[in-house]
Amino acid sequence: MHILMYMSMIVLLISSVVMFLTNLLSKKNIEDREKSSPFECGFDPISSSRLPFSLRFFLIAIIFLIFDVEIALILPMTIIPFNSNITIWSLTSILFLFILTIGLYHEWNQSITWMS
């Protein structure tokens, strides 16, 4: 028990010393207007580099990520019934697919209201 406590204290001490030294020895970053401006082949920028971002594109990207994660959760469902109780697997799969169907219905209704 004492060995574990001593080892954790040593690890904590070493990591604290390393973090302190990196903070102390790190090069301080001084903001320079020329260095923080966008670079376009040596010319001054024609327009602002901070263009407005389309919220619709962002929402489509988020929906894609959500469905991508869902597919990653659905694919192992084909292997699991061989290693577990079939009734628990069936109930869990049906519940998961039901929640996905409700989410798809909600997204479908929201996209119809966006169009109008």
Q: In this structure, is residue 110 part of a structural domain?
A: yes
Q: In the predicted model, what is the mean pLDDT of residues 81-89?
A: 85
Q: In this structure, is residue 13 part of a structural domain?
A: no
For the whole model, what pTM was predicted? 0.44
For 62-89, letters b (16+ CB in 10 Å) and e give: eeeeeeeebeeeeeeeeeeeeeeeeeee
Q: In this structure, is residue 103 part of a structural domain?
A: yes
Q: In this structure, is residue 46 part of a structural domain?
A: no
Domain residues for 110? 86-116
Q: In this structure, is residue 109 part of a structural domain?
A: yes
Q: In the predicted model, what is the mean pLDDT of residues 102-109?
A: 85
Could you give the number of structural domains in the chain? Answer: 1
- 1-43 pLDDT, tens digit per residue, is 788 889 999 999 999 999 998 888 877 666 766 666 666 566 6
Q: In this structure, is residue 37 part of a structural domain?
A: no
Place of tokens 């049906």: 94
**Residue 85 clears pLDDT 90, i.e. is over it:** no
d(CA 53, CA 59): 11
Q: In this structure, is residue 105 part of a structural domain?
A: yes
pLDDT of residue 57: 82
Q: In this structure, is residue 115 part of a structural domain?
A: yes
Cα–Cα distances (Å) from 115 to 35, 56, 57, 74, in that order, read 43, 11, 14, 30
For residues 73 and 96, is the Cβ–Cβ distance under 8 A?
yes
